[in-house]
Amino acid sequence: MKFMLGRRGAMAATVAALTVGALATGITTASATSGWTRLTTAHGAGIYAYHSAGSGKVTLSDVFNGDYVDVLCWKRGDNISNQGNVWYYVDNEWHAAGWYGNSAGWVYAPYVDDSNAWRTGLAECNFG
């Protein structure tokens, strides 16, 4: 009986550790899944109401290299300067200057991470 409880406890601890590891991975990367993505391009990016530069920005400040956006999914939209037509839907941004924004909208993928999350399997949005 004592052996069974020890084995069950070890199994429960293993499952808990794997769950925590999976959650941490989802928060720190956007490759193949949604999550916080650090801007790695030299170009600033606005967050727009739709996946079109003509739709108007939903934030007063753009995001820049070193800032983060919480990428949820992607959709095809405007092609800016012949760099592709992929846009990410984001719901939050964190600025390296130390402030956090809670704006949802669309950001041009080549200006975030050169569309890397899209290339590595980020899910397509089922809306918008």
Residue with tokens 């600025």: 95
d(Cα 88, Cα 31) in Å, to the nearest integer?
A: 13
98 is a domain residue: yes
Task: Say what the pLDDT of residue 25 is.
Answer: 39
Q: Is the residue at 97 inside a domain?
A: yes
**pLDDT at residue 60, as a whole number:** 84
pLDDT band at residue 113 under the 50/70/90 scheme: very high
Whole domain around residue 87: which residue ranges?
Answer: 31-119
Whether 88 is in a domain gets the answer: yes
Q: What is the pTM of this model?
A: 0.73
DSSP letters, 51-120, are SSGGG-BSSSS-B-TT-EEEEEEEEE----TTS--EEEEEEEEEETTTEEE---EEEETHHHHTTHHHHT
Task: State the total domains in the chain.
Answer: 1
Amino acid at 55: S
Cβ 32 vs Cβ 120: under 8 Å: yes
Comparison of pLDDT for 75 and 6, the residue scoring more: 75
Residue 111, domain member (yes or no): yes
The pLDDT confidence band at residue 84, using thresholds 50, 70 and 90, is: very high
Can you give the C-alpha Rg of the chain in angstroms? 19
